[in-house]
Amino acid sequence: MSSRVNFGFLLLIFRYIYSYKISALKILIVNGPNLNLLGSRQPDVYGHESWSEFFAALVSRFEGRAEIDCFQSNSEGAIIDRLHEADAALAGLLAPGSAPDKLRHYDAVVINPGAYSHYSYAIADAIAAIGIPAVEVHISNIMGREEHRHTSVTAPACAGMICGLGLEGYAAAIEALLRRKI
Domain extent at residue 79:
26-178
pLDDT at 74: 97
Other beta carbons within 10 Å of 176: 18
Question: What residues in the chain have per-residue pLDDT under 70?
Answer: 1-22, 91-104, 181-182
- Report if residue 11 sits inside a domain: no
Q: Would you name the residues annotated as active-site residues? A: 46, 138
- Report if residue 124 sits inside a domain: yes
- Report if residue 31 sits inside a domain: yes
pLDDT at 6: 52
- Report if residue 134 sits inside a domain: yes
d(CA 60, CA 68): 10
d(CA 109, CA 158): 9
**Number of domains the chain is built from:** 1
pLDDT at 100: 53
- Report if residue 1 sits inside a domain: no
pLDDT at 89: 76
| pLDDT digits 0-9 by tens, 37-79 | 887 777 777 777 889 999 999 999 999 999 999 999 999 999 9
Tell me the three state secondary structure of residue 103: coil
pLDDT at 4: 58
pLDDT at 10: 40
- Report if residue 5 sits inside a domain: no
Q: Is 114 left (phi over 0), alpha (psi -120 to 50) or beta?
A: left
Q: What is the CATH number of the domain that holds 53?
A: 3.40.50.9100
> pTM for this structure?
0.80
